[in-house]
Amino acid sequence: MKAAWITTALLALHSLSAARDWTQPTLAERAAEAAGRSPWESAFWIGLGLAGTLAAMTLLGLSLVYAERKIAARFQCRLGPTRVGWRGTLQTLADTFKLISKADLVPRDADRLLFFTAPWLVVSGMLLALVNIPASPLLFVVDLNIGLLFISAVGALSVLGILLGGWASNNKWSLLGSMRAGAQIISYELSLTLSLLVIVLFTGSLSLGEIVQSQQEGWWLWRGHLPAMVAFLVFVIASTAELNRTPFDLAEGESELTAGFHTEYSGLRFALFYLAEFLNMFIAAGLAATLFLGGWMPLHIAGLQTFNRVMDFIPPLVWFGLKTGGLIFVFMWLRWTFPRLRIDQLLKLEWRFLLPLSMVNLLVAALVLLLGVYGKGGPA
């Protein structure tokens, strides 16, 4: 038990320093390994994983909302929040307290059971995906050997939550919003999964840990050449749509549907939907960084020894943060630049353009792998 505390302290220190050994056990593996020795230590690792995930969720939620408001403001030649805390950094915290203390309204004719369940379904889908994201060799809660499959599978809980929440509100805007969101998420799930499969083909594994390890010699975005680049673009477009963000935000479409599926939600339940939305953006960006940009791996250029050595000194967590942060900025940039699509344009984009493109792309990737042009994990 004492050893567990010391290891935790070392973990905290270690995650900030440059770690050369990239094969560290995940928290779940530590728990499983300790289970035979002492159940308390095992419980400690599980508790650490849970507490860490919840803390990460809170901190990310607060900072992402702040970032979105600041960036949106800059795009619109405003300043954004400036008053609460240093440069308005505590604004989201204040808003969170405001949301929690608000009256909890439930429409009279709402289906109460479904109305109460829906936000929790959305949040649990998000949390189950969040624990799989490898932020650094040491900040990695669980590395499932079906990692990618699991992340796409638990996304289903969010769809269920959105559909039920919109229906249970007993409001035509909510219903329309949730139908649009459902149709959109299900449609874009196809090209999203097909673009993930390209990386699964190259790596030969569904486990996120192994996918990161496979990028030691180079990120898949470069090493995979054209198929990987196309897959990356499709992934970014499809995940913007999955997140219901502009230009695909007609599920919320505030000028036509008030707020879409969460029109009737207030207080804490609204906060949960809002939190899940931002955390899902983090998960999408983190996943894109892990699959295409090498996750926590530093940037290496073959042949430049000194450059690579210097890059190794930057801790893995910082690398992951930079890549994910950059992608989150791209999502926000898209949101504040493009106008909203119409529903038929949105469905046409997926079914007429993205889906055929990603199917052909997957075929090209398979051919490339079969002919042994590049990539690893070919036919065993």
Partner 1 sequence: MRPSDPFFYLFALLALGLARACVCSQHLLRATLYLAGVLFCGAAFYVILDAEFLAGIQLLVYIGGISVLLIFAIMLTRGPDLLKDRPSPLRRNLALALSLSFMGLCSFLVLRTDWPAALPAEPHENPVRDMGVRLLNPGEGGLLLPFEVISVLLLCVAIAAIYLARPGSGEERPLS
Binding footprint of partner 1 on the chain (CB under 8 A) = 35, 111, 113-114, 117, 144-146, 149-150, 152-157, 159-160, 163-164, 167, 170, 175, 179, 182, 186, 189-190, 204-206, 342-344, 347-348, 351-352, 355-356, 359, 380
Q: Which is nearer to partner 1, 150 or 319 (CB)?
A: 150
In the complex, the smallest distance separating the C-beta of residue 39 from partner 1, rounded to whole angstroms, is 9
Helix, strand or coil for residue 92?
Answer: helix
In the complex, the smallest distance separating the C-beta of residue 71 from partner 1, rounded to whole angstroms, is 31
Q: Which is nearer to partner 1, 163 or 285 (CB)?
A: 163
In the complex, the smallest distance separating the C-beta of residue 205 from partner 1, rounded to whole angstroms, is 8
Burial class (CB in 10 A: 0-12, 13-18, 19+), 220: buried
In the complex, the smallest distance separating the C-beta of residue 95 from partner 1, rounded to whole angstroms, is 31
Sequence-distant (≥ 6) Cβ neighbours of residue 158 within 8 angstroms? 121, 122, 125, 126, 185, 276, 280
In the complex, the smallest distance separating the C-beta of residue 284 from partner 1, rounded to whole angstroms, is 17
Q: Which is nearer to partner 1, 62 or 121 (CB)?
A: 121
Q: Which is nearer to partner 1, 96 or 171 (CB)?
A: 171
Rounded alpha-carbon distances, angstroms, from residue 76 to 271, 326, 334: 25, 20, 13
Q: Which is nearer to partner 1, 102 or 112 (CB)?
A: 112
In the complex, the smallest distance separating the C-beta of residue 174 from partner 1, rounded to whole angstroms, is 12
Helices (DSSP H) in 243-304: which residue ranges?
A: 254-257, 267-292
Which of 89, 152, 144 lies closest to 283, judged by CA?
A: 152
296 close to 215: Cβ distance less than 8 angstroms: no
Q: Which is nearer to partner 1, 201 or 293 (CB)?
A: 201
67 close to 87: Cβ distance less than 8 angstroms: no
Q: Look up residue 238 and give its amino acid.
A: A
Q: Which is nearer to partner 1, 327 or 349 (CB)?
A: 349
CA dihedral (84, 275, 189, 376) in degrees, to 10, reads: 80
Helices (DSSP H) in the chain: which residue ranges?
A: 2-16, 27-35, 39-75, 91-101, 112-130, 147-168, 172-203, 208-213, 220-223, 225-242, 254-257, 267-292, 305-312, 316-335, 343-348, 355-370
Q: Which is nearer to partner 1, 18 or 146 (CB)?
A: 146
In the complex, the smallest distance separating the C-beta of residue 110 from partner 1, rounded to whole angstroms, is 11
In the complex, the smallest distance separating the C-beta of residue 50 from partner 1, rounded to whole angstroms, is 16
